């Protein structure tokens, strides 16, 4: 089939490259001249595992190309819109969407389908039909099929998520003879997953509800971790035990410095605001946001509690991106943490494997010192904190790195490190909801601390196992 994708940012480029890999003939349409030129050179504007290879193969085999001319959509059976729908401050913005619709809707073939891939604010879903119909009528054209096809891909695993989705959701805005649904179904014919065809309002809420639930799960795990710390339980074992119940499951239950990225924080906050405007209170979702915003402060509080203050302390940070396998710093907890530490007078030295993440962080926080190697973060550090669980950080040579430090503290903001490895290098390990491991007290003996880092049980409290 012939497909156009309007807007080849993160979402649009994944759709374009993956559909091309399935054998469809795809044209990505991009207004940003710099991005377009880079894509034509085979350079991606962000890091996403496997995507550059797919774009390269698509270009090479003639199934994927890029252009700026909106008229390119007129050859397509399905036209995707994948423009951004929120602004730099994390608020909804639909100007780009409306502009894109005004430009391309008159150019879409009468028998083609328009599929909106961008995440829409729920309130806007209702307006799409009228907007598209007015644009078509003003151009003297008949109506077209209009659908929502929300994405559920995660950064860092977007290609795999696209090829092997849990479900494909198609929301019908307007599709009187179901012609549009059959076109979009045909695009996904090789997918081994349920295809959910439903109303546009339901499709938008399936997308939103999924992200809100995932965010809530993480905040719940973070609250539970706080309770575990106070009560002498270990969150790893608690979650493992809970996860045997299939109604609960163990995924998205890893506590730490909180959820970041372009989707979860923004959608939680915006839904609370949007629903408040409709007189629908969402106290639980507001608490999800509140808990999440506390997590970077909890990380900093652990440093303060163990170091006795931050002024003139040298803190090393491992990781800057909001999660591994991306160079995305949007709503990255690392930025909040670095700023809090700098404001308290600490020197902050950070490393992330992604050069682009280091560069962006440096420009956003000029006082931050970025380094090009993991080991440099440890040099003369009073404490080192892990903020992004890049796999390379989970296999560090702790005894060698401990020697480079002047202090003895490691705070694991993602519960990604093995406390035994850290403690056996002579360092004190502090995680989230995990017992503190102090080397001088020996393996298996822990000192438990409350939220503010103060001890809450006798220091010789024994634990059964720390994984």
Provide the annotated active-site residues. Answer: 263
Note whether 298 binds ligand UDX by CB under 6 A: no
Q: Counting contacts by CB under 6 A, is residue 155 touching ligand UDX?
A: yes
If one asks whether residue 263 binds ligand UDX (CB under 6 A), the answer comes out as yes
Which is nearer to ligand UDX, 104 or 338 (by Cβ)?
338
Nearest residue to 152 (alpha-carbon basis) of 203, 94, 192: 203
- Separation CA 11–CA 347 (nearest Å): 37
Nearer to ligand UDX, 206 or 342 (CB): 206
For the segment 394-453, give every residue that binds ligand UDX (CB under 6 A).
Answer: none
Pick one of 218, 272, 340, 448: the residue that binds ligand UDX (CB under 6 A): 218
Asked if 225 interacts with ligand UDX (CB under 6 A), we say no
Closer to ligand UDX by CB, 25 or 323: give it: 323
Interaction between residue 163 and ligand UDX (CB under 6 A): no
Give dist(CA 214, CA 40) in Å, integer.
36
User: How many other C-beta atoms lie within 10 A of the C-beta of residue 161?
Assistant: 17
**Residues in 229-258 that interact with ligand UDX by CB under 6 A:** 252-254, 256, 258
Q: Is 214 in the site for ligand UDX (CB under 6 A)?
A: yes
Residue number with CB closer to ligand UDX (100 or 218) = 218
Task: Report which secondary-structure segment, H or E, holds 412.
Answer: strand 409-412
Whole-number Å distance between alpha carbons of 84 and 92: 9
Instruction: Return the axis-axis angle of helices 51-60 and 10-21, rounded to nearest 10°.
Output: 50
Kindly tell me the burial class for residue 329, based on how many C-beta atoms sit within 10 Å of its own C-beta (0-12, 13-18, 19 or more).
buried
Tokens of 449: 């601390």
Instruction: Could you list the beta-strand ranges (E) of 36-101.
Output: 64-67, 78-81
Confirm or reject binding of residue 259 to ligand UDX (CB under 6 A): yes
Among 159, 264, 317, 402, interactor with ligand UDX by CB under 6 A: 264
Q: Which is nearer to ligand UDX, 323 or 369 (CB)?
A: 323
Token couple for 43 = 């350079």
Handedness of CA 81, 87, 88, 91 (dihedral sign): negative
CB of 265 to ligand UDX, least distance (A): 8
DSSP H/E element including 349: strand 347-351
Q: How far is the CB of 406 from ligand UDX (least distance, A)?
A: 30
Angle, vertex CA 118, rays to CA 331 and CA 186, nearest 5: 135
Residue of 322, 351, 393, 432 that binds ligand UDX (CB under 6 A): 322
Q: Report if residue 152 touches ligand UDX, rule: CB under 6 A.
A: yes
Sign of the C-alpha dihedral computed for residues 434, 439, 442 and 443 taken in this order: positive
First-to-final CA distance of the chain: 50
Kindly report the number of other CB atoms within 10 A of residue 22's CB atom: 17
DSSP one-letter code for 154: P
Q: Name the one residue in this structure whose structure tokens are 């890049």.
A: 390
Report if residue 220 touches ligand UDX, rule: CB under 6 A: no
Comparison of 212 and 310: residue with beta carbon closer to ligand UDX: 212
Smallest gap, in angstroms, from Cβ of residue 330 to ligand UDX? Answer: 9
User: Among 2, 154, 294, 297, which residue sits at the site for ligand UDX (rule: CB under 6 A)?
Assistant: 154
**Which of 4, 16, 76, 153 contacts ligand UDX by CB under 6 A?**
153
As a residue count, the chain comes to 467
For residues 203 and 209, give the distance between their C-alpha atoms in angstroms, rounded to a whole number.
10
Among 77, 151, 236, 447, the residue binding ligand UDX under the rule CB under 6 A is 151
Residue number, 14 or 105, with CB nearest to ligand UDX: 14
Residue 261 binding ligand UDX, by CB under 6 A: yes
Q: How far is the CB of 93 from ligand UDX (least distance, A)?
A: 18
Inter-residue contact 417 to 429 (CB < 8 Å): yes
Site string for ligand UDX, 178-197 (x = CB under 6 A): --------------------
Nearer to ligand UDX, 70 or 264 (CB): 264
Q: Give the interface with ligand UDX as residue ranges (CB under 6 A).
A: 151-155, 211, 214, 218, 252-254, 256, 258-261, 263-264, 322-323
């Amino acid at each position: 089939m012939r497909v156009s994708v309007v807007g080849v940012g993160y979402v649009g480029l994944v759709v374009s490259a993956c559909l091309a890999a399935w054998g469809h003939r795809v044209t990505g349409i991009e207004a940003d001249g710099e991005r377009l030129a880079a894509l034509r050179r085979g350079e991606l504007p962000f890091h996403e595992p496997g995507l550059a290879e797919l774009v390269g193969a698509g270009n090479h085999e003639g199934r994927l190309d890029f252009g700026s001319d909106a008229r390119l959509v007129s050859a397509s059976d399905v036209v995707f819109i994948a423009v951004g729908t929120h602004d730099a401050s994390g608020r909804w913005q639909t100007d780009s969407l409306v502009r894109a619709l005004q430009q391309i809707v008159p150019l879409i073939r009468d028998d083609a389908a328009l599929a909106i891939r961008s995440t829409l604010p729920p309130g806007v879903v209702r307006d799409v039909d009228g907007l598209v119909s007015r644009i078509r009528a003003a151009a003297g054209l008949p109506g077209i099929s209009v659908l929502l096809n929300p994405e559920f891909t995660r950064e860092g695993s977007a290609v795999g998520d696209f090829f092997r989705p849990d479900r494909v959701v198609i929301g019908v805005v307007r599709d009187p003879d179901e012609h549009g649904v059959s076109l979009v179904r045909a695009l996904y014919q090789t997918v081994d997953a349920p295809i959910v065809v439903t109303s546009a309002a339901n499709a938008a809420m399936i997308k939103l509800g999924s992200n809100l639930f995932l965010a809530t799960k993480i905040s719940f795990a973070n609250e539970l971790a706080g309770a575990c710390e106070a009560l002498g339980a270990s969150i790893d074992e608690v979650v493992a035990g809970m996860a045997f119940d299939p109604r609960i499951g163990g995924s998205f239950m890893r506590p730490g410095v909180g959820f970041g990225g372009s989707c979860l924080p923004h959608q939680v906050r915006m839904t609370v605001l949007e629903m408040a405007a409709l007189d629908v209170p969402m106290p639980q979702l507001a608490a999800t946001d509140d808990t999440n915003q506390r997590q970077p402060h909890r990380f900093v509080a652990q440093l303060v509690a163990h170091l006795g203050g931050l002024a003139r302390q040298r803190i090393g940070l491992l990781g800057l991106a909001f999660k591994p396998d991306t160079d995305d710093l949007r709503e990255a907890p690392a930025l909040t943490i670095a700023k809090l530490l700098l404001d308290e007078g600490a020197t902050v030295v950070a490393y992330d494997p992604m050069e682009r993440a280091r560069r962006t962080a440096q420009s956003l926080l000029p006082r931050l010192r970025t380094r090009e190697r993991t080991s440099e973060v440890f040099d003369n550090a009073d404490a080192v904190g892990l903020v992004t669980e890049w796999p390379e950080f989970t296999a560090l040579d702790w005894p060698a790195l401990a020697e480079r430090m002047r202090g003895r503290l490691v705070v694991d903001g993602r519960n990604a490190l093995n406390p035994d490895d850290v403690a056996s290098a002579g360092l004190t390990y502090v995680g989230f909801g995990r017992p503190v491991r102090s080397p001088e007290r020996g393996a298996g003996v822990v000192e438990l601390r409350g939220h503010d880092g103060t001890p809450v049980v006798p220091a010789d409290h024994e634990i059964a196992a720390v994984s």
